[in-house]
Structure 1
Amino acid sequence: MSEPLRVAMVGYAFMGAAHSQAWRTVNHVYDLPAPVRMQVLSGRSATAVAAAAGRLGWAEHTDDWRTLLKRDDVDLIDICAPGDVHAEIAIAALAAGKHVLCEKPLANSVAEARSMVAAASAAQASGVRAMCGFNYRRVPAVALMRQMIADGKIGTIRHVRASYLQDWIVDPEFPLVWRLRKEVAGSGALGDIGAHIVDLTQFVTGRHLTEVCALTETFVKSRPLPSSSAGLSAAGDSSAFGAVTVDDAVLFLARLGDGVVGTYEATRFATGRKNGLHVEINGSLGTLVFDFERMNELQFYSLEAPAEQQGFTRILVTEPTHPYMSAWWPPGHLIGYEHTFTHQAHDLVRAIAEGADPTPSFADALQVQLVLDAVARSAETSAWTRVEEES
């Protein structure tokens, strides 16, 4: 077996915990070409990062991510920090010869994303790899959905319907956490969860969004300043308020390649919906439906079945022949959210060992960023807006 792949991670909240779980697990379920070593965790607070390192399984910790660039015992930097620092950290890491995994959305602006793509392209010549973390691509049912569409199981694609519904900020007294501040998060529901359904539908259909017509809304204009926060939980100070500077909800129509039309909705104000990610693809011969709250299942309707047998079929995506499932349990035994990050870590480690380009690449993530930008511009003008194309 090759020398260990020594990983450092920046950030230790919600995504940091999910990525740590993956790095802890991937050695134990996959026969990797190189074992993973969780070398060092970085965060802004020396006290908090020390506690997080012990809890999450990291050997060392630091409160200055720049020290990671000079360490010979760090091969890969995993960026789980807020979006306003993605570009700075990723570009510096790639220039220092470190592989990079960066959480989505890639950046807070198209300009930043383009700079990151340029840095990744320059580093690639030296064998340095970069990947963006769209973990829902690694749900076995989603991977199967993509394969069935590519195999023509639903014929010519006509419609794409996608929604991502959450409710964690419905309470107007919920504090003004970083995800509600444009200067840190870049956007609200659009970038936080809308990016996922844009990437997911492009991934399964093989078609890019080319034009959009959007609206956004911010329902709660100001919120208490936070006194503490952890992941998606927070406490606030009811005596001091700040302005919400991102969207709470976004809805848009879209055109995709080859005449496909789509509808998209992302909101953090769908009361009662906790993580309702839903994708439906209608074709000339059938339909495929994925619902993340039933993530081990795929619904399939086929016009090619005899008339008396037509109806939605439930495919339980747990057989070892399904994507990623051979690493886990006997058929019928379910996997969960955390496994998508383990699959992501596996794919990245294997690509690095094989000298291959991991996906989604920074260029793939830039394409999603261009869609987000077009949606934001469309919402300002209430007009159909073209998605810019990269040359």
Structure 2
Amino acid sequence: MSEPLRVGMVGYAFMGAAHSQAWRSVNHVYDLPMPVRMQAVSGRSASAVAAAADRLGWADSTDDWRTLIGRDDIDLIDICAPGDVHAEIAIAALAAGKHVLCEKPLANSVAEARKMVTAAAAARDSGVRAMCGFNYRRVPAVALMRQMIAAGRLGTIRHVRASYLQDWIVDPEFPLVWRLRREVAGSGALGDIGAHIVDLTQFVTGLSISSVCALTETFVKSRPLPTESAGLSAAASSPEHGEVTVDDAVLFLARLGDGVVGTYEATRFATGRKNGLHVEINGSLGTLVFDFERMNELQFYSLDQPVEEQGFTRILVTEPTHPYMAAWWPPGHLIGYEHTFTHQAHDLVQAIAAGTDPTPSFADALQVQLVLDAVARSAETSSWAVVETFQEYS
């Protein structure tokens, strides 16, 4: 058996728990070229991170991410911390010769993202790999969608429609958690969930967004400050209020490729919508539709069928010939959200073992960051904004 890939993770909340589930399961699901070892996790509170390590399956814990990076028994740093520390941690880890997996969005600004891309490029010369965690790419139905579009099943792409609808901050008494503070999160719905649909639509179509026209809105301007125990509950807040400094919702028009138009919407105020990620791609020969709340399915309309037989066909993406599905259950047995992170871990380990570049790379994630930046600029000026290109970082 080859030497293990020893993982250290920074952060242990929602996303840290999802990544931990993946690292726990990937050895059991796949015959990996190198086994994964969950070596240590770091967080700000020594007692809380120790409890999280025990709960999530990590062998050790520390309250200092710098200590984690400095350890000789760590090969890969998995960054699940808020966006304001992504750049500092990733750059330090790459300089120390550690592979890096960093959650999306890559950073809180284009400037930070550029520095991370530069650091990843320098580390790559020494065999060190870096990847950004856009997990929805690893939904089997999304991967199949990409394959079908690349095979020409939709003909010439004309329309891209994407929305990501949530409602977890509809209550105005929900506390002012870090995701609602620009200095920590960078942006609101735009970076948190808008980044996902930007990446996903570009991934499945192979097209890049070139210009945007956007608007943003913050519906609740101030919120109760969270208590030390605040989670996703309005009850865990104090009487004192603070300013919400991020967007609650963003909508924008986009141009992609040559003559392709798109509409995008991301909001955390769509009452009744819990995790409503929806993508529709219209082409000259047909349409494909993905809805995350039916994540094991695609809807496919094809003009190749006789007129009397035309209509949307439901494709149940559970066959062993479908992307990723051979590792799981017999046809018809569904998988869920957590499996996307296992697929992500598998793909990263395979790339590291093979000495190849994992995707999405930091450069791919920078391109998404440039789209987010253009959206923010457009919303501020109420005009079209061009997405900056970055060939020199490719």
The one-letter amino acid of 2:34's match is A
Question: Which runs of at least 4 in structure 1 moved beyond 3 Å after TM superposition?
Answer: 228-238
Distance 1:234 1:128 in 2: 43
Counterpart residue number, 1:103: 103
Distance, in Å, in 1 between the alignment partners of 2:309 and 2:18 is 42
Match in the other structure for 2:165: 165
Does residue 1:385 correspond to 2:390, yes or no? no
* Structure 1 residues without counterparts, runs of 5 or longer: none
Q: TM-score, normalised by structure 1?
A: 0.99
How has the CA–CA distance of structure 1 residues 26 and 216 changed in structure 2, closer, same or farther, with 3 Å as cutoff? same
Secondary structure of 1:114's match?
Answer: helix
How far apart in 2 are the matches of 1:216 and 1:389? 23
Gap runs ≥5 in structure 2? none
Deviations 1:50-69 (A, max 9, x none): 10000000000000000122
Shift of the alpha carbon at 1:258?
A: 1.6
For 1:246-265, list aligned pairs within 5 A.
Answer: 246-265=246-265
Instruction: Note if contact 1:300-1:313 (Cα within 8 Å) is conserved in structure 2.
Output: yes
Q: Contact (CA 8 Å) 2:174, 2:237: kept in 1 or not?
A: no
Structure 2 CA distance for aligned equivalents of residues 234 and 345 of structure 1: 34
The whole-number CA distance in structure 2 between the counterparts of 1:234 and 1:63 is 28
CA separation of 1:15 and 1:355: change in aligned 2, threshold 3 A: same
Partner of residue 334, structure 1: 334
> How do 1:10-25 residues align onto structure 2 when only pairs under 5 Å count?
10-25=10-25
CA contact (8 A) 2:214 2:252 kept: yes
For residue 101 of structure 1, give the secondary structure of its aligned residue in structure 2. strand
Tell me which residue corresponds to 2:201. Answer: 201
* Matched residue SS, 1:258: coil
Number of positions where the alignment pairs a residue of Structure 1 with one of Structure 2: 391
Q: Secondary structure at the match of 1:48?
A: helix
Distance 1:151 1:137, change over 3 A: same
SS of aligned partner of 2:170? coil
CA distance in 1, matches of 2:97, 2:322: 35
RMSD: 0.9
What CA distance in whole angstroms lies between the structure 2 residues aligned with 1:308 and 1:219?
Answer: 47
Matches within 5 A, 1:232-381: 232-233=232-233, 235-381=235-381
- Alpha-carbon deviation of 1:235? 4.0
CA contact (8 A) 1:216 1:251 kept: yes
Contact 1:141 1:295 in 2 (8 A): yes
Q: Displacement, 1:229?
A: 5.2
SS at match of 2:258: helix
- The structural deviation recorded for 1:230 is 6.4
**What is the rounded CA distance, in whole Å, between the counterparts of 2:339 and 2:193 in structure 1?**
19
Deviation at 1:308, TM superposition (A): 1.0
Partner of 1:140: 140
Q: Distance in 2 between matches of 1:141 and 1:234?
A: 35
C-alpha separation in 2, matches of 1:108 and 1:234: 26
Shift of 1:71: 1.0
Inter-partner Cα distance in structure 2 for 1:47 and 1:230: 17
In structure 2, C-alpha distance between the alignment counterparts of 1:339 and 1:229, rounded to whole Å: 29
Equivalent pair of 1:14/1:231 in contact (CA under 8 Å): no
**Distance between the aligned counterparts of 2:237 and 2:252, measured in 1?**
35
Instruction: State whether residues 13 and 230 of structure 1, in contact with CA within 8 Å, keep that contact through their aligned partners in structure 2.
Output: no
- TM-score, scaled to structure 2: 0.98
SS at match of 2:126: coil
Q: What is the aligned partner in structure 2 of residue 212 from structure 1?
A: 212
Query: Take 1:299 and 1:150, find their aligned partners in 2: how far apart are those partners?
Result: 17
> Aligned-pair distance for 1:237?
3.2
Once residues 27 and 231 of structure 2 are traced to their aligned partners in structure 1, the CA distance between those partners, rounded to angstroms, is 26
Give the 5 Å matches for 1:46-195. Answer: 46-195=46-195
2: CA distance, partners of 1:41 / 1:350: 22
Contact 2:226 2:237 in 1 (8 A): yes
Contact 1:177 1:234 in 2 (8 A): no
Q: 1:98 to 1:231 in 2, by over 3 A?
A: farther
Report what 2:4 is aligned to.
4
Amino acid across the alignment from 1:177: V
Maintained 8 Å contact 1:14/1:232 = no
Output the CA distance in 2 between the equivalents of 1:142 and 1:110: 27
Once residues 231 and 357 of structure 1 are traced to their aligned partners in structure 2, the CA distance between those partners, rounded to angstroms, is 37
Asked whether the 8 Å contact 2:225–2:240 carries over to 1, the reply is yes
Provide the rounded CA distance (Å) in 1 between the counterparts of 2:41 and 2:279: 35
* Matched-pair identity in %: 88
